């Protein structure tokens, strides 16, 4: 009794299934979402929802983890109930943001965020800020503000996950 052909056929099927599984995983997108308590400059706390989306279809080195494609933070402005979304697009596109969130705070009910560019291309895109921070204020949409317009009492107050090295 020779089981060689059926064993060979089984090995071929297993190899095909593994190859398909690896191929599908090669273009995987993963999103991690968490809630975070943010301590504001006035001692109050708010809960924000943050998410990081990683996309392996973005070019990256073999053996490296999928790059960060997008970071989102959703929060409610205290006292108003208005929901606001701050988003940084890191996908390859004509004009990616490539910003890493450092701080969220409010002054007179107006949200502000402080960010830092991720990598030299982002640093150039944001006109080589010195110090290397990019600030925004929300008034119906996010608008960039200067260091002088950013309230000095604000501090880094969001969890800073390990920064991925990008070009």
In this predicted structure, what is the pLDDT of residue 13? Answer: 64
What pLDDT shows up at residue 68?
A: 77
Check the CA dihedral 130-96-158-108 and report its sign.
positive
| Sequential pLDDT tens for the chain (167 residues) | 566 666 667 656 655 544 444 444 456 889 899 999 999 999 999 999 999 988 888 777 888 878 778 899 999 999 999 999 999 888 776 667 889 899 999 999 999 999 999 888 888 889 999 999 999 999 999 999 999 999 999 988 887 654 444 44
Tell me phi and psi for residue 81, to 5 degrees.
80, 0
65 Cβ contact list (under 8 Å, min separation 6): 54, 164
The pair of structure tokens assigned to 145 is: 């503000």
The DSSP secondary-structure symbol of 94 reads S
Structure tokens at 35: 């809630």
Per the CB < 8 A criterion, the answer to whether 80 and 109 are in contact is yes
Q: What is the pLDDT of residue 118?
A: 86
**Residue 97 confidence (pLDDT):** 81
- Alpha-carbon distance of 104 to 38, in angstroms, equals 8
Helix or strand holding residue 143 (H, E): strand 142-145
Q: Check if the beta carbon of residue 74 is closer than 8 Å to that of residue 95.
A: no
CB 115 within 8 Å of CB 99: yes
């Amino acid at each position: 009794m020779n089981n060689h052909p059926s064993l060979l056929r089984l090995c071929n099927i297993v190899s095909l299934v593994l190859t398909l599984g690896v191929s599908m995983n090669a273009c995987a997108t993963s999103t991690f979402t968490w809630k975070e308590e943010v301590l504001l400059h006035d001692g109050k706390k708010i809960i924000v929802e943050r998410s990081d989306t990683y996309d392996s279809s973005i070019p990256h080195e073999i053996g490296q983890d999928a790059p960060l494609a997008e970071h989102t933070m959703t929060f409610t402005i205290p006292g108003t109930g208005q929901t606001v979304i701050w988003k940084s697009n890191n996908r390859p596109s004509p004009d990616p943001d490539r910003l890493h969130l450092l701080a969220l705070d409010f002054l007179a009910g107006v949200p502000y965020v402080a960010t830092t560019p991720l990598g030299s291309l982002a640093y150039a895109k944001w006109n080589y800020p010195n110090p290397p921070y990019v600030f925004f204020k929300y008034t119906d949409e996010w608008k960039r503000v200067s260091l002088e317009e950013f309230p000095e009492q604000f501090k880094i107050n969001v969890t800073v996950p390990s920064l991925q090295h990008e070009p």
